[in-house]
Chains A and B, each alone.
Chain A
Amino acid sequence: MKATVLVRPKQGILDPEGQAVESSLRQLGFSVGQARVGRVVDLEVESADPSAARAEIERMCEQLLANPLIESYEIELAEEQG
């Protein structure tokens, strides 16, 4: 099963990379509000069962893919993606 993990800086956490992107976009003439920069991890997991896959990916996020002190994560399973 294919899955995508989105890792973002938590709300309220300073994101200097996002700020740099934001100011560059403004310099290009785009009118943007806040920009935040995170990370995308595309995964293939063995499990064919969505709830088992999700539980396993949650463990991956807690242990490695995200640092819960500063990052939040979101898991999208291929089956659930429209």
Chain B
Amino acid sequence: MTSPQPRIGVLQVPGVCDDRDALWALAALDAEALFLWHTETELPDLDAVVLPGGFSYGDYLRCGAIARFAPAMEAVAEFSATGGLVLGICNGFQILCEAGLLPGVLRRNESLSFVCRDVPLVVERTDTPFTTRCSEGQHLVIPVKHGEGCWYADDALYEELEARQQIVLRYAEPVNGSRNDVAGVVNERGNVMGLMPHPEHAVDPLLGSADGALILSSLVESARERALAAV
């Protein structure tokens, strides 16, 4: 008997452009992926939610600052409050930070230049639902494409995050000026993660790297376990 496909929602907010890639990648990794429209006030029955990348509301004001007030985001916040798995990629990460679901904020790259290239990453934690398929200290190559990926937290917040081991991914070399080269963080509870690199663009060797599949298939597996536990 095959195990059931977990249902993973991909949030569509105006200005987001990686929604189809995220949907395709999740489906390729054996999830039942479906779009969620930003005006929806309730989520369907889901095992995880992905906030894909792009430029929601034209990045006006601050990246993610407007999208966080999308009606569907209230439902996503409730979903995460009950322990639901939420992954934010790039603009999705920015939205989760603006919404207060993840710590810190993403600012303009220190170079002021848009960065678009494959970057080397180091996995700091493998006990999150998003990294179970990785090994500790593993090097991954996943592309970034952002102008505002410089993650910032003040000293006090950063120390707290280090102490609670909320840093999941770091760049292996400076990319955008992020504090201590942070590329991905989780919330305290460990069920919400955000990262600037795009795993959905690296799920097939044809695209240069399949390392992104390690992140997304970790999520799919964790979502599947939750789906099975709920049966």
Contact = CB atoms under 8 A, between A and B. Distances in A.
B104 A67 contact: no
Interface in A5-22: 13-14, 16-17, 20
Top 8 A-B pairs, shortest CB-CB distance: A69-B105, A16-B110, A16-B112, A67-B105, A70-B105, A67-B62, A20-B112, A16-B108
Interface residues of A, number: 10
A47 B62 CA distance: 27
Contacts of B112: 16-17, 20
24 contacts: A13-B152, A14-B110, A14-B177, A16-B108, A16-B109, A16-B110, A16-B111, A16-B112, A16-B177, A17-B108, A20-B112, A64-B61, A64-B65, A64-B66, A64-B69, A65-B61, A67-B62, A67-B65, A67-B98, A69-B104, A69-B153, A69-B157, A70-B105, A70-B107
A64 to B, nearest CB: 6
B173 interface: no
Interface of B is mostly: loop
Contacts of B108: 16-17
Interface of A: 13-14, 16-17, 20, 64-65, 67, 69-70
B213 to A, nearest CB: 33
B154 interface: yes
A17 to B, nearest CB: 6
Interface residues on B, range: 10 to 19
Nearest to B153: A69
Interface string B98-119: 1000001101111110000000
B206 to A, nearest CB: 36
Interface string B163-191: 00000000000000100000000000000
Contact of A70 (B69, B109, B152): B152
A8 B185 CA distance: 26
A67 B100 CA distance: 11
Contacts of A14: 110, 177
A13 B65 CA distance: 19
A67 B154 CA distance: 13
Given A64-B69, A67-B98, A70-B105, 10 more contacts: A16-B109, A20-B112, A64-B61, A64-B66, A67-B65, A69-B104, A69-B105, A69-B153, A69-B157, A70-B152
Contacts of A70: 105, 107, 152
Contacts of B177: 14, 16
A7 to B, nearest CB: 9
Interface string B51-69: 0000000000110011001
Contacts of A65: 61
A69 B108 CA distance: 14
B10 to A, nearest CB: 25
